[in-house]
Structure 1
Amino acid sequence: MTSADPRALAAAFAEAYGRPAEGVWRAPGRINVIGEHTDYNDGFVLPFAVPQGVSVAAARRDDGVLEVRSLQAAGAGVAVPVDPRAPEARRWRETAPQRERWAAYPAGTAWVLREHVPDGRIGGASLLIDADLPQGAGLSSSAALECATALALCELYGADGLLGAAGRRELARLAQRAEHEYVGMPCGIMDQSASLLCTAGHALMLDCRSGLSTQVPLPLADAGLSLLIVDTRMRHELVDGDYGRRRAECERAAEALGVPALRDVKDLPSALDALDDPVLRRRVQHVVTENHRVEAAVGLLRAGAAAELGALLTASHISLRDQFEVSWPGADVAVEEAQRAGARGGRMVGGGFGGSAIVLTPADRVDQVSEAIRAAYRRREWEEPRFLTAVPADGARRLL
């Protein structure tokens, strides 16, 4: 069974819970073309949804309990009150064993919705989760789980105001809040927005301050190009503190410069001169130049010059490696070897410290580029990477 097979997931739900599912919802993961670590600095990003994602089969229940089970997680599942104020909910948040911590993503989403939707309308539910999106690969499996859960609960309990275009922007904010408050991950708004708002064949130019977005055509195949995802198999765990430290550094730099966020830095040389801390100077340089690269990428796409994106991707990778210091050896090797084999450029994606890279390559060189990366990994005795072709897909939706 695959996560995209709603009837099979509905049948598995009936077997697991002894009653039929009321629907199946799916939310995709995302790849960010460019604009990394700019979202929580109120900047610009350019993600698109990928075909892989997370599916949730769900049905209401009248006992005030949220029960979540996953086809990818061992064990009987996790059951907690849907009311975040209940003592049992607070106790679980404080004492849940590590093997149950994945359930904080759907549970946190339910708790935030319960507080946001009037009259405590969001009630209990049984959820069965399936995914074909690798965890820890930098493709935003956590946001996909949050967004699929949010759509399911909103439809089950008639929170229709959060299902339209404007409502989905608010829903992205609520899913982000769930990750902040109940998972402890201080993420930006990009992942949830991409999962809920993207459309097939397009990237999403998102202003992370205003929440406004524009669909930008991404006709890579028409230009004879492929965007290859390289899952380095080197996993990250962003709640361990590295991501949070980068965000805190950016906030300290903005405060020192007297601006609301690093997006507001207009004169980069003057800003760098004003900072004594070399670490903060490096963080500012990355964020400011990365925002410029996002705007340049959008300009290239609108001008029909997708082939020229490669140089921007590589510049982004170098900045993430040297200025923001979040890259890792697997991504560095993938980008370097891909370019030697004829790719136009590439970069790490996601929060960093492990996960995936993307490589922009002529479509007729995908096999050569992939083999060059495999060979480099073999020489270093690393686990063989996994490759996916990134195709811009639709955002979250109901499947059944």
Structure 2
Amino acid sequence: MIIDLLLIGALGFLGSFGHCLGMCGPLTVAFSFSDESLPTRKIPFQFYLLLNLGRILSYALVGALIGGVGSVLIASGQMAGIGSFFRQGIAILTGILLIILGLAQINPTIFHRFPIIHPLSPQNLHHHLSKLMVNVSLQKHFFTPLLLGLIWGFIPCGFLYTAQIKAAETGNIGWGILTMLAFGLGTFPTMLGVGLLTGKFTADRRSQLFRLGGWITLLIGILTLLRTGNHVDYSGYGSLICLIVALIARPISRLWSQPLKYRRVFGVSAFILAVVHTVQMLDHTFQWNLTGFDFMIPQHQGGIIAGGLAFLLMVPLAITSFDKIQNQLGILWRRIHLLAVPAFILAVIHTLLIGSNYLGGFELTLMIKIRVALLLLLSLVVLLIRYQTVWSFFGLKKLYVAPLKQK
């Protein structure tokens, strides 16, 4: 956890040069000028100090709230006998969100607008808090900047999502507070010296630092996923689910448009989880000694081969998941991304042959047979949904969405 706190602090520091300096810097200066008693040609140190202390304090309060909610969820899961499942699920979801945020921070155009539910963001919250800050700024008290900072810290902010998601994943009030404090302290130097730093750093340099923060977010997400324990099935299932959503997103978009809108997110998430699943498999099953493959039963060997081939087919899909590459490849891009279909089939075979809840176990119970049948049925439905002939057979041709013709 100490490493995580250091990374969160580094993220706050580097990201503050890009996001905070550009978005919040002018606001900070504007609030300092709202008090006529403050000097206008130099940074009022006391004002900025209290303002940022209030902001960091509100971060800590949010961290306590989010960490507390996470601890309640985990405790509830443990009482129901599924604590491990809850922890795995929270860790995987957190890791994926952090990686997506990191990629978006590195390259803002890689994803379309991705809706992440903010714990404090009803539709009009931002407006009401901003209005409240304006009213508070007009008050002439020594503690006014502290109150402004307290309110400011509750305003929804995309850059805060990384720290808040990580705070939720801790599942602990104390660690939730420390996570948000580390993030706030990371942003503190920039925000405290905002007037000076604005003149020292060019927009290009701030952008570079902000993107470097994206790489740290990416690293935090990867570390979170790799710490999900030895239950390699969870990351594998997550990859399979994301791949399913990506495959059916286009044909069902007339019935449900959201999956198509965020298909790239699901596709990239499928690949990320596949990478994590592969690393966990190498570490847990083989302990990085591939000679163990020779001692596996033929069924498990077949499952490993199928999974490896599925992963290899997903690599070119991930590499070409950019608008620029898509435009350059034209019709070839779609042909490449049709590899998702055989990748899905191979992933299902991998799951069936080596999955501990399927044929990979040593006992063929009735429940396992039911799971196998359900997975095969689901896989068949996913594949059939992609074909217009099937929709026409059921008289639903008008609801089918065909792929766009590319030149």
Per the shorter chain, which TM-score range?
0.3 to 0.5
- Which protein is richer in helix relative to its size? 2
Which one has the largest radius of gyration?
A: 2
Q: Which has the higher strand share?
A: 1
TM-score by length of 2: 0.32
